[in-house]
Amino acid sequence: MKIGVLRERAPGETRAALMPESVRSLVSAGAQVALEPGAGVASGVGDADYTGAGAQIEARDELLSSVDVLLCVNRPDDEDIARLRAGTVVVGFLRPLDETDAIVQLIEQKLTAFAMELIPRSTRAQTMDALSSMATVVGYKAVLLAAERLPKMFPLLMTAAGTIAPAKVLVLGAGVAGLQAIATSKRLGAVVEAYDVRAAAGEHVRSLGAKFLQVDLGGIQTEDAGGYAVELSDEALNRGRDLIAKHARTSDVIVTSAQVPGRQAPLLVTQEAVDAMKPGSVIVDLAGATGGNCAATKPGETIVQNGVVIMSPLNLAATVPVHASQLYSRNVTAFLKLMIDDKGELNIDLNDDVVGPACVLEKGEVKNSRVAAALETAPR
C-alpha cells in the first residue's frame, strides 16, 4: 500500500499531514510512504528528515496518480482530486457537512473518503480526535493573540512603583478550545471567568481555578446524548447574553469559542455589550468560521470599534505549525492504522465503530446519512 502526502496549498496553511515519527511508524507497519518535495518545510521538517524516516520524495503529479491513500490536512482542490485514481482513499478535514458541494467531485471520481471531523468522540477514538487536537492549539494561541494586543499585562505584579492589577479574562464556551484558553490565561496570571450552557462544563472550569458563570435556564435540556450543546431558543440565549453583557463591561479580554455542531454559532456578545466595553479591551472570536459569537465580528479580520479590538482568526492552528502538525499526524496515523492489516495492506471494515462513522464515501457511494441529507438540500 502506498500512502501519499502533498504540500498543503490552501492560503495560509502551514501544517503537514505527516511528521517523520509517523512516517517511521507507518513504514514499520509495512506501508510505503511518499511525500511531495517541501511537504513539511513550513512545519520545520525538511525532505531529508522524511527520507531518513523511510519515505520517498516524489513529484506532485506522480504521487497523485499512484497513491492508494492520500493523507491531507485540508481537502485537496478540484485539480488534484481529478488526478486521483478511482478507489483512492482520501483522509483529512474534508468538511463534508458544511462544504457539501465540494464532495460531489469526490463522488464523481469514485473515491473512498474519510473525514477527520466525523471520527466519534469516543474513548476508543481519543488518539484520533483531530478536532480536539486543533482546538487545544487554537485555545492556547487565542490567549497569546489577546495578550499581545492588550495594552496591559496579564499577571498581578507588586512592584516598587506599586501594584498592577491582573487582567480579567472572560471565556465563552468551555469545550476543548475554551478550557485551553482558560488554562493559558491562568498560567499568564489573569483572573478568569467562563460561561457555557452545559452543566458539566462548570466542573471543568472550576477545576482549572476559574469562576463559572451560571444562568438559570429553567431546567431546559442544553446538551444532546453525545455531550454536545444543542441550539437554544432566543429566550434562553437572551438570559446568557444579559449575564455576558454585565461581565463584559469589566473584562479586559473575551475569548469566545461557543459552537453547536452543524449550526450557526450562537450570538453571545451583542453589539450593546461591545459598545459598553472599555477601550483597549480585546475580543478574540474563535467561532468566526460559523458566523461568530460576537455581533461585531468580521470573520477573518481584525477590527477596532471605539477602541475595542475584535479579532476573528480563521486558522489559528496553522500559526503553530510544528505542534499542530505533530498532533494531527499522530491522530491521522492512529486512524489509518485501524485500516492496515498485518501485511501492511489496506483492509477497510466499515462495521468498525470508528471507521464506519468517519466514512463519507466508499468508491463514490455516500455512506454517511448526515452527508446524504446535506447533499439533497445543498444548492447546486
Residues that bind ligand NAD in the complex, under the rule CB under 6 A = 121, 126, 129, 131-132, 135, 172-178, 195-198, 201, 227-229, 232, 237, 240, 257-261, 266, 268
- Taking the least distance from each CB to ligand NAD, the nearer of 135 and 354 is 135
H helices within the chain, ranges in order?
Answer: 20-28, 47-52, 60-64, 78-83, 103-108, 130-149, 176-187, 199-207, 234-248, 271-275, 321-337, 355-358, 369-377
Nearer to ligand NAD, 259 or 325 (CB): 259
Q: Is 263 a catalytic residue?
A: no
Among the options 7, 60, 198, 228, which is catalytic? 228
Residue type, 73: V
Q: Which residues, listed in sequence order, are joined to residue 163 by a DSSP beta bridge?
A: 158
Rounded least distance, CB 267 to ligand NAD, Å:
9
Looking at the Cβ atoms of 18 and 229, the one nearer to ligand NAD is 229
Distance in angstroms (rounded) separating the CA atoms of residues 96 and 117 = 9
Distance CA 282, CA 150 (A): 6
The least distance separating ligand NAD from the CB of residue 91, rounded to whole angstroms, comes to 19
- Residue number with CB closer to ligand NAD (40 or 240): 240
Catalytic site residue from 80, 129, 196, 285: 129
Residue closer to ligand NAD by CB (options 4, 173) is 173
Per the DSSP assignment, residues forming a β-bridge with 269 are: 294
Backbone angles phi, psi at 316, to 5 degrees: -65, -30
Least distance (Å) between residue 175 CB and ligand NAD: 2
Rg (CA), the chain: 22
Residues 6+ apart with CB under 8 A from 122: 353, 354
Catalytic site residue from 85, 121, 124, 187: 121
Cell 493573540 sits at which residue? 145
**Active site annotation includes 233:** no
Q: How many residues are there in the chain? A: 380
Rounding to the nearest 10 degrees, give the CA dihedral for residues 36, 38, 41, 45. Answer: 60
Is 129 noted as a catalytic residue in this protein? yes
Which CB sits closer to ligand NAD, 70 or 176?
A: 176
Nearer CB in complex with ligand NAD: 201/320: 201
Q: How far is the CB of 179 from ligand NAD (least distance, A)?
A: 8
- Rounded to a whole number of angstroms, the minimum distance from the CB of residue 263 to ligand NAD is 9
Rounded CA separation 137/247 (Å)? 26
Q: Which of 28, 65, 122, 126 is catalytic?
A: 126
**Shortest Cβ distance from residue 293 to ligand NAD (Å)?**
8
Clarify whether 132 is annotated catalytic: yes
Work out how close the CB of 266 gets to ligand NAD at its nearest, in angstroms, rounded to a whole number: 4
CA 305 to chain centre: 28
Cα-to-chain-centroid distance, residue 190: 25
- What is the C-alpha separation between 185 and 124, in angstroms, rounded? 30
Give the nearest distance from C-beta 129 to ligand NAD in angstroms: 5
Residue 38 grid coordinates:
517541501
Comparison of 96 and 240: residue with beta carbon closer to ligand NAD: 240
Among 56, 105, 132, 305, which one carries the catalytic annotation?
Answer: 132
* 98 carries an active-site annotation: no
CA dist 330 and 332 (Å) reads: 6
Closest CA to 34 of 15, 17, 14, 13: 17
Cell numbers given for 88: 483512492
| Residue whose C-beta lies closest to ligand NAD | 175
What is the signed CA dihedral for 118, 124, 126, 130, rounded to 10 degrees? Answer: -30
Q: In the block, which residue shows the cell 476508543?
A: 124
Could you tell me the CA-to-CA distances from 219 to 62, 186, 197, 201 in Å, in that order? 59, 31, 11, 16
Q: Is 253 helix (H, G, I), strand (E, B) or coil?
A: strand
Q: What is the set of active-site residues? A: 121, 126, 129, 132, 228
